[in-house]
Amino acid sequence: MSDPVRDPDPCACTRRSVLIRGTLTIGAAALGCAGRGESAKEVPSEGGAVVLPLAEHPALANAGGSEVIRADGKGKPILVRNDGDAGITALSLKCTHMGCAVRVDEGGALACPCHGSRYAADGSVTKGPAKEPLTRLPATLGGDAITVQIG
Ligand code: FES
Which residue's CA is the closest to the ligand 1 atom numbered 4?
115
First CA to last CA distance, the chain? 42
Q: In this structure, which residue's CA is closest to atom 3 in ligand 1?
A: 98
pLDDT(21) > 60: no
pLDDT band for 107, please (50, 70, 90 cuts). confident
* Composition of the chain by helix, strand, coil, percent to 5: 15, 30, 55
Q: Which of 9-13, 29-33, 84-88, 97-101 has the lowest mean pLDDT?
A: 29-33
Q: Which residues line ligand 1 (CB under 6 A)?
A: 95, 97-100, 112, 114-117, 129-130
Q: How far is CA 119 from CA 43, 47, 111, 122, 132, in A?
A: 24, 29, 6, 8, 10
pTM over 0.95: no
Q: What is the pLDDT of residue 69?
A: 95
Question: Are the C-beta atoms of 53 and 78 separated by less than 8 Å?
Answer: no
107 C-alpha to center of ligand 1: Å?
Answer: 20
Q: What pLDDT, on a 0 to 100 scale, did the predictor assign at position 143?
A: 86
Q: Write the DSSP symbol of residue 101.
A: B
Question: Of residues 59 and 38, which shows the higher confidence score?
Answer: 59
